[in-house]
Structure 1
Amino acid sequence: MAEARGQSPGVLPPDPADDAGPDSVLLVEDDAGDTLLIQEFLADSGLRARLLAARSLAGAQAIIADGERPACVLLDLHLPDSSGLEGLHTMLAAAPQSAVIVLTGLAEARAGLAAVAVGAQDYLVKDELEPRWLGRAVRYAVQRKQVELSAAALQAGRLRAEENARLERGLLPRPLLSTDRLEIVTRYRPGRMHSLLGGDFFDVVETPDGAVHAVVGDVAGHGAAEAAMGVTLRVAWRSFVLAGLSGPPLVAMLERLLLAERDDSEAFVTLINVTLPPDRTRALVTRAGHPGALVRDGAGGVTLVEPPGGLALGMMPGLGVWPQTELAVPPGGGLVLFTDGLFEGETGEEERLDLSGLLALARARGGDGAEALVDHLIGAAEAASADYGGLGDDVAVVHLGWRA
């Protein structure tokens, strides 16, 4: 029989009574007689499926490469370009979503069992085939494969949840504070389509001298590598702060760490680092490619402050200069630090909330308590972008405020 791609002459007739069969079956068999016999058996079995046929393993791979996704593959273990389990391994790799049934001879029952042990759903002896049993074997193999894929998806989901929990502990720690005069509110919200946490991170630490230090950072990109880098930088930040570093020297040390740890030479990180001295009236702010901060004055007023800043970490190694700016933060006032996911969600055709929109949201609720304000900002940003996919990026928000 000639090598076939797409539907072969032996198309299985539709059977309205059978809705459980596969959409397509790929037969990989080099013997023309066996091919014709199996085609006839499949046609007589009543399966509703397109039959695809190949006479070699390479031909089967070409069919799959052309975009075909057979629900079931009937695979002869002896082909011109493969023999035994080698061909099965190749087929399993080429069609991981397909159920595979191997075809053996009478004396090859052991080989059939070995094939099932390494990933085939079943094996059939050619000389014992008949339409009824062949159709049932294909249906059961497809069902078992679907159960296997569902179980794998559930396991992957469980592992993602466990990984999320581990990353959350690393990226989103509890503030390390002894004072009760500082009101801290922290929030994290994953962006759409992200099953894992991204690289947004934050931390708040009080040092023995009574100063309170905070950081909010954003590793460019999404995925496990970015989240792991966020954890590394967050833990390093806390260690450096407890060792006495702050301000521009601390930011420079974080860049050195990033350059040593990153796998991608183009990876970069933005962050804003804040120190609240023990006098409780001001904040020392250092920015590295990061958005500014919302400043509350204690009387319900809110302003957006973008102090002079330097390059994002890793953007131009060795050339970064990060000035430190002093801001007044009176008792009853506070700072709101955030990542760009809070204001970059789409709110219309080629429109975004932007910093001006975020400031308007904050001013509308500037007299609210810290938790109410932060929750309002996130909720309003989500609502504004709801018709365009919601928040397009992860969001981390930290509110630092001295109690009046």
Structure 2
Amino acid sequence: MSSDPRWGLDATAALLLVEDDAGDALLVREVLADSGLPMDVTWCKSLAEARAFLRASKNAVCVLLDLHLPDTHGLSAVRLVRDASPDAAVVVLTGLAENEAGLAAVAEGAQDFLSKDGLNAEELSRAVRYALQRKQVERSSAELQASRLLAQENARLERGLLPTPLLRGDRCQVASRYSPGRDHALLGGDFFDVVESEDGTVHAVIGDVSGHGAAEAALGVCLRVAWRAAVLSGCVGPAQVRLLEEILEAERAEDYIFATLTILRLSRDHSRLTVIRAGHPGLLVRTSQGIELFEPPVGPALGLVPGGAHWPETELPAHDISAVTLFTDGLFEGVVGPDRRLGEEGLLAVARKHMDLHGRPFVDAVVEDVAAQSTFHGGLADDVAVLHLATDGRS
């Protein structure tokens, strides 16, 4: 037998005829021979024999099924055949006055029905081919629905893993923006979080796990949750960074995976801002004099020098600081011209252009401005996370 790619049939495709009457079986087989269908035909005389064949063979793509068999009768035959071979198309063979039974069989899951009386090659060939098409459509629809349900479930899961700032008052307002680089994803390797401890200190973190896959996104969530647990348990400063590095080393899939991050603490009275950087970009600081890019001393990224790294803490007066904006490198590494990336100085210029805005409008304007500049050069391909903390009452 030759293959027929037009109908998704290969050289092993088989048609199963389930018919207990030898005369009818001979008639159907002769018509099949004249139809030109590129399939081998197997004849079974009972449903039990047919089910055994279907379970043993993966090649049956279509079943021609008589509803009146020695070991079953009526629509139960359709259900039992579909149970034995869910992927096979089913065409029911009926008698002259059994149109209603044929329609009922289709409602039960058969793809088509034919009367054995006056059966001809053209009619049978068309019925089998259409049944195969309908079955393929059913499979595709079922797979699409399963994919949609899985995507919805993944979206719910990812949405549940996105951070919700834990603030105990309104002394600090938070605005954020998050855009994963993976297509159709809600979560990437970038992460951020904000927690206000019982003494009123506001803690914030932003980080970036190297890579762009689901494993990196999962590691980012792991580090964020570990950071929050450390803050709530009173672990801060360089000890907190060492703890996060230990967790990264234990959880990363490959030894070359690393993570950058910036951690800051803002005192209850907003008089002191303490910053620790581990291989991460600087931060935008807004004061009465404008917006500046602040780059305090930096230690290595987590995972690059396991057990041997030092991360300096930098403290600066914060009385004149009205807002701080943390970001990941995806915000300034987009290409904005021939062989030219935006860069941190370019990002600073964008931020200053929109400094009349505050809170979420400011964050949105900066991200959308950067994205617009890179639109004709590939867009922002990396994950982008922005975390904006305001202390002047403007969210």
TM interval, short-chain normalised:
0.7 to 0.9
1:347-368 superposed Cα distances (whole Å, 9 cap, x missing partner)? 3444332222211100111232
CA distance in 2, matches of 1:220, 1:172: 20
Match of 1:96 in 2: none
In the other structure, the counterpart of 1:276 is: 266
Q: Which residue is 1:333 aligned to?
A: 322
Q: Which moved more, 1:100-109 or 1:315-324?
A: 100-109
The CA deviation string for residues 11-52 of structure 1, in whole angstroms up to 9 with x for no partner, is: xxxxxxxxxxx5654342699xxx999686247xxxxxxxxx
**Contact 2:62–2:89 (CA under 8 A) maintained in structure 1:** yes
Is 2:181 aligned against 1:191? Answer: yes
Write the letter of the residue equivalent to 2:12.
V
Q: Secondary structure at the match of 2:360?
A: helix
In structure 1, how many angstroms separate the alpha carbons of the residues matched to 2:42 and 2:235?
A: 66
* Aligned partner of 2:89 among 108, 112, 122: 122
Q: Give the residue type in structure 1 aligned to 2:35.
A: F
1:292-311 → structure 2 map (5 Å cutoff) = 292-299=282-289, 301-311=290-300
- 1:393 corresponds to 2:387: no
Whole-Å separation in 1 of the counterparts to 2:42 and 2:277: 64
CA distance in 1, matches of 2:378, 2:135: 36
Rounded to whole Å, the distance in 2 between the matches of 1:28 and 1:153 is: 27
1:167 aligns with 2:134: no
State the TM-score, normalized to the length of structure 1. Answer: 0.72
Distance 1:27 1:129 in 2: 24
Contact 2:276 2:313 in 1 (8 A): yes
- Partner in structure 1 of residue 35 of structure 2: 41
Q: CA RMSD in A?
A: 3.6
1:379 Cα deviation from its structure 2 partner: 1.0
| Secondary structure at 1:333 match in 2 | strand
1:385 aligned counterpart, secondary structure: helix
Map 1:146-225; keep pairs closer than 5 Å. Answer: 146-173=137-164, 175-191=165-181, 193-225=183-215
Residues 27 and 75 of structure 1 are in contact (CA less than 8 Å); yes or no, is this contact kept in structure 2?
no
Q: CA deviation at 1:334?
A: 1.8
Residue 269 of structure 2 corresponds to residue 285 of structure 1: no
- Please, which runs of 5 or more residues in structure 2 have no aligned partner? 16-28, 44-52, 94-115
In structure 1, stretches of 5+ residues that fail to align are 8-21, 44-52, 54-73, 92-99
Could you say what secondary structure the match of 2:298 adopts?
coil
The within-5 A match list for 1:104-143 is 114=81, 117-123=84-90, 130-143=121-134
Answer yes or no: is the 8 Å Cα contact 2:32–2:124 preserved in 1: no
Say yes or no: does 1:28 pair with 2:12. Answer: yes
Task: Provide the C-alpha distance between the structure 2 equivalents of 1:343 and 1:278, rounded to a whole number of angstroms.
Answer: 31
Larger Rg: 2
SS of match in other structure, 1:28: coil
Distance 1:230 1:215, change over 3 A: same
Distance, in Å, in 1 between the alignment partners of 2:14 and 2:167 is: 73
- Which residue among 61, 80, 85 is the counterpart of 2:55? 85
How many angstroms apart in 2 are the aligned matches of 1:105 and 1:177?
Answer: 67
Letter in 1 for 2:55: L
Deviations along 1:309-357, whole A, 9 cap, x unmatched?
2222223322332222224433452210012221223334443322222
2:100 counterpart residue number: none
Alignment map for 1:195-274 (pairs within 5 Å): 195-274=185-264
- Contact residue 75 and residue 101 of structure 1 kept, 8 A: no
- Which residue number in structure 1 is paired with residue 310 of structure 2? 321
* Identity between Structure 1 and Structure 2 (%): 39
Find the residue that maps to 2:231 and give its secondary structure: helix
Contact 2:14 2:61 in 1 (8 A): no
Moved more, 116-125 or 374-383: 116-125
Report SS of the residue matched to 1:274. Answer: strand
Letter in 1 for 2:124: W
Instruction: Report if aligned partners of 2:193, 2:205 keep a CA contact under 8 Å in 1.
Output: yes
Aligned to 1:64: none
Residue in 1 that maps onto 2:61: 101
Report how many aligned residue pairs link the two structures.
Answer: 341
Partners in 1 of 2:12 and 2:120 — Cα distance?
A: 16
Could you tell me the TM-score, scaled by structure 2's length? 0.73
Task: Return the offset for 1:86.
Answer: 4.7
Distance (Å, rounded) in 2 between the aligned partners of 1:304 and 1:198: 25
Question: Aligned equivalents of 1:330 and 1:76: distance in 2?
Answer: 87
Q: Distance in 2 between matches of 1:186 and 1:137?
A: 58
Partner of 1:19: none
Match of 1:369 in 2: 358
Partners of 2:156 and 2:78 lie apart in 1 by: 44
Measured in 2, the distance between the counterparts of 1:315 and 1:75 equals: 62
Moved more, 307-316 or 238-247: 307-316
Q: Deviations over 1:114-134 (max 9, x none)?
A: 466443231579999833223
Query: Partner residue of 2:342?
Result: 353
Give the Cα separation in 2 of the matches to 1:28 and 1:193.
Answer: 38
Which deviates more from structure 2 when the two are superposed, residues 240-249 or residues 312-321?
312-321
Of 204-213 and 136-145, the range deviating more from structure 2: 136-145
| Aligned-residue offset at 1:389 | 4.1
The separation in 1 between residues aligned to 2:316 and 2:337, in whole angstroms, is 34
